Amino acid sequence: MSIGFLRQALNALQKQSRSRTSHRVNQWFKWLSPGISVKRWLLISVSGVVLASLGLAIWIKLTPIFWALELVRNFLGVITNILPNYVSGPLVILFGVLLVLWGQSRTVGSITKVLRPGGEEEELIDVLLAHHRLYRGPKIVVIGGGTGLSTLLRGLKTYSANITAVVTVADDGGSSGRLREVFGVLPPGDIRNCLAALADEEKLLTELFQYRFRAGDGLMGHSFGNLFLTAMTEITGDLEQAVAASSKVLAVRGQVLPATLSDVRLWAELADGRRIEGESSIPKAGGKILKVGCIPANPPALPAAIKAIKEADYIIIGPGSLYTSLIPNLLVPEIADAIAATNVPRIYVCNIMTQPGETQDYTVADHIRAIDDACGQRRLFDAVLVHKKSPSAQSLIRYAQQKSNPVFLDREAVTQLGRRIVPANVLYEDETGCVRHDPPKLAKVLLRWYSGANHGK
């Protein structure tokens, strides 16, 4: 019994030892991966050691070096007498390379302890490889606002760090509206959500930025993130500089840009003749929207946003509230012009459910027509991503009570509008039946379509 137990323990220890050795060797060879600029510096380090040794030998006229070399020569002679040179030579080379790798890895390990304190498991080489992969990713520009945009960014940031989110600044409700009225700043709410979504420490930062004060004169109802961005705007002078400074502080992967720095106010004309002003008032009006615009009309775009669109490899519009999150960005003429002038893959991510007060009873084609109408009947995207499967019965009942239903895919109408349909299963339902796009699934489908679109060119 005890002998069997000892054998099992020895086998387990051997397996564990082999696993650790295999992992360590694998980590060593990762340093030789192409593109991370390590092999050249390793070679330069070895060359430096050789040259320094030669310089020392010349300086002291070879006296001790000569005897050291003689000792090495005699030692190698003994080895070659025991083992042939075609065996002993490679063995010595391998031993020397292993010593160099071991020394380098121990050096890197010491550096890692300083750069990544706190006992984090991820090794520096894995961080470098991930950094190299992400910063070689495509330049993606995402147009939108609201929770839909932050959901998409949460998935995309695992594929590329070259992401630019162009965000609407027409929000005038809640905490953002109050800060806009009191301080005269542009509404920070949507930008706050995007910064949190793109941050490396997303979970903690999201909890911090979304925290709302439950007490305090003047503080109640405000989110910490909105107050933070408002303070940064006051310090730096404008929202663009505030977002750039915040991005550095929060280690944001990519950049978030307001569509314009103008203080725009959204308006909508309804089918019953009413004209509603204010982004937060439009969905509450309960009418069919015929047209949306902004005051002042034709606001100037942020130059950095136009530059990002012109340099983009891939442009994504949506998801998000059609009339209050997506179209407000396109009411900035320079942004619509820049998107229309590009010759890169462009796709619209259609919402899964209709939105009462905005898109009640809308089909996929109705969403597309609304975007086309807002930018002068120009085709700003080539394809539309549509969710395939219907939500669960629980979700359908919940949304039906709110006069919302799944967006119907009218294939023939979409085809007549000249758009390619990209069907995919990208739905996420929480325990309450709330329907959202699933960030990893959505990002995977979008990147797969981008690769196919580029390959087809």
pLDDT tens for 440-456 read: 999 999 999 999 887 66
Per-residue tokens: 11:
């086998």
pTM: 0.76
pLDDT in tens, 167-189: 998 887 777 777 877 777 888 88
Domain 137-168+259-455, CATH homologous superfamily name and number: CofD-like domains (3.40.50.10680)
The pLDDT confidence band at residue 8, using thresholds 50, 70 and 90, is low
SS3 category, 414: helix
pLDDT at res. 44: 77
Task: State residue 269's pLDDT score.
Answer: 95
Inform me whether the pLDDT recorded for 89 exceeds 60. yes
Domain ranges of the chain: 137-168+259-455
319 or 71, higher pLDDT: 319
Q: Using alpha carbons only, what angle is made at residue 293 by residues 232 and 415, rounded to the nearest 5 degrees?
A: 110
Inter-residue contact 285 to 354 (CB < 8 Å): no
Task: With cut-offs at 50, 70 and 90, classify the pLDDT of residue 12.
Answer: low
Instruction: Report the pLDDT value the prediction gives residue 341, as an integer from 0 to 100.
Output: 95
pLDDT at 286: 84
**What per-residue confidence (pLDDT) applies to 297?**
92
- Say what the pLDDT of residue 320 is: 92
Q: Which of 203 and 74 is assigned the larger pLDDT?
A: 74
Give the C-alpha separation, 390 to 244, whole Å: 40
For the beta sheet containing 140-144, the strands, ordered from the edge strand earlier in sequence to the opposite edge, are 255-258, 163-167, 140-144, 314-317, 346-349, 383-387, 420-424
Name the burial class of residue 218, with classes exposed (0-12), middle (13-18) and buried (19+) by CB atoms within 10 angstroms of its CB. exposed
What DSSP letter does each residue of 211-233 carry, written as one string? -B--SSTTTTT-BHHHHHHHHHH
pLDDT digits (tens, 9 = 90+) for 47-71: 777 778 777 777 776 666 667 777 7
For the cut 60, the answer to whether the pLDDT of residue 18 exceeds it is no
| 7-27 average pLDDT score | 54
The least confident of 2-16, 361-375, 430-444 is 2-16
pLDDT at 138 over 80: yes
pLDDT category, 5, cuts 50, 70, 90? very low
SS3 122: coil
**What CA–CA distance (Å, rounded) separates 277 from 175?**
18
Scored b (16 or more CB within 10 A) or e, 78-117 reads eeeeeeeeeebeeeeeeeeeeeebeebbeebeeebeeeee
Lowest mean pLDDT among 15-24, 89-98, 291-300: 15-24
Picking from 25-34, 37-46, 218-227, which range would have the lowest pLDDT averaged per residue?
25-34
Q: Which residue has the tokens 């015929």?
A: 290
Say what the pLDDT of residue 436 is: 93
Q: Residue type for 422, please? A: V
What is the dihedral sign for C-alpha 169, 336, 341, 412? positive
Please state, for a pLDDT cut of 90, what percent of the chain lies above it. 45
- Please report the pLDDT score of residue 10 as a whole number: 47
Burial 46-56 (b: 16+ CB within 10 A, else e): eeeeeeeeeee
Measured distance CA(333)–CA(322) in Å, rounded: 17
Mean pLDDT over the full length of the chain:
83
Asked whether residue 408 carries a pLDDT value surpassing 90, the answer given is: yes
pLDDT score of 404 more than 90: yes
Per the model's pLDDT, the better-predicted residue between 314 and 77 turns out to be 314
**437 strand-pairing partners:** 427
pLDDT at position 121, please? 47
What pLDDT, in 10s, does the model give residues 363-392? 999 999 999 999 888 899 999 999 998 999
User: Can you tell me the mean pLDDT for 238-260?
Assistant: 87
Q: Please give the helix or strand (H or E) that residue 85 lies within, else none.
A: helix 85-115
Q: Is the pLDDT of residue 322 over 90?
A: yes
**Quick one: pLDDT at residue 257?**
94
